[in-house]
Amino acid sequence: AAAAATTASAAQSGKKVTLGFAQVGAESGWRTANTKSIQDSAKEAGFDLKFSDAQQKQENQIKAIRTYIQQKVDVIAFSPVVESGWDTVLKEAKDAGIPVILTDRAVDSKDTSLYKTFIGSDFVEEGRSAGKWLVDKYKDTKDTVNIVELQGTTGSAPANDRKAGFDEIIKSNPNLKVIASQTGDFTRAKGKEVMQAFLKANKNINVLYAHNDDMALGAIQAIEEAGLKPGKDIVIISVDGVKDGFQAASEGKINFIVECNPLLGGQLMQAVRDVLANKEIPKRIVTKEGVFTSEDAKRELPNRQY
Ligand code: GYE
């Protein structure tokens, strides 16, 4: 209670609100857009933003959070690189009376009092959307459909959930078979490398499901270098909907994109204000998004901001 009073009085005293944000890294186009949204929105809100990039390493994020605790920031926000292993550092923040807001990715902590809210997408639903499109596409096919999957960062919420949602839906058609599934760490370089290995090991790949656009874009290079046509010889589904993804989709190289909105900055700053004003806020704030075929992508591309 004493600590809560301290933050409340900091907000009331007219002193600039300090927000410590521990970002995952700069692994993808999605992440770049997300970082920009947070930086722009903090500026607009008049907050003092302390920003760190963990280069996709949990230990770096934990260090950054501990630094924010020492600096006595008003609020800590972060996008946890993986789901597990946060209880200790979150408890340290709680004991210091510093509220924590999760953005983009979830933690699997049993004690939900360790954070105020989680703002982000429903990744299971994204995986389901990808699966539904595929089930529909192959509903009349009698042959086996060989699927390869490029997973996001191992142990991350979007990798776990996008896989789970997709698997849940494609189960309904036993012809749809995931013949290989590996992490591409959400990056183009790794997406390309793993796709090259997939192509070498498997003669007959019909579908690629990539957990983000960047890995799909890397894989497209590998597919073209192997003399195959992305989007035709191999049907491609990805998640995010960044500009480069839309560009590839509008050229017919990606067949279906499930949108994941990176522009979380505005909602985050509002949540910071509410938390500091001791307002009740929902424990879960889900962002809204859509799905896009190649045709949709062609229309949408000129409007894409990121
Ligand atoms: O899909 C991917 C990024 O956590 C939703 O992280 C985010 C994911 C996004 O690297 O491109």
Please give the Cα distance from 232 to 234 (Å, whole number). Answer: 5
Tokens 């990798």 found at: 159
**Sign of the four-CA dihedral 24, 43, 259, 286:** positive
Query: Of ligand 1's atoms, which has the minimum distance to the CA of residue 123?
Result: 5
Ligand 1 and 186: CB distance under 6 A: yes
Percent of the chain with pLDDT over 70: 96
pLDDT, one tens digit per residue, over 132-164 is 999 999 999 999 999 999 999 999 999 999 999
CA of 251 to the centre of ligand 1 (A): 23
pLDDT, one tens digit per residue, over 24-73 is 999 999 999 999 999 999 999 999 999 999 999 999 999 999 999 999 99
Burial class (CB in 10 A: 0-12, 13-18, 19+), 40: middle
pLDDT, one tens digit per residue, over 10-27 is 555 678 999 999 999 999
Please give the Cα distance from 207 to 228 (Å, whole number). Answer: 13
Total-model pTM: 0.94
ipTM of the complex: 0.99
CA dist 108 → 68, 146, 260 (Å): 22, 32, 21
Ligand 1 and 30: CB distance under 6 A: yes
Ligand 1 and 28: CB distance under 6 A: yes
CA of 293 to the centre of ligand 1 (A): 20
Please give the Cα distance from 256 to 174 (Å, whole number). Answer: 21
Ligand 1 and 27: CB distance under 6 A: yes
Ligand 1 and 185: CB distance under 6 A: no
Ligand 1 and 31: CB distance under 6 A: yes
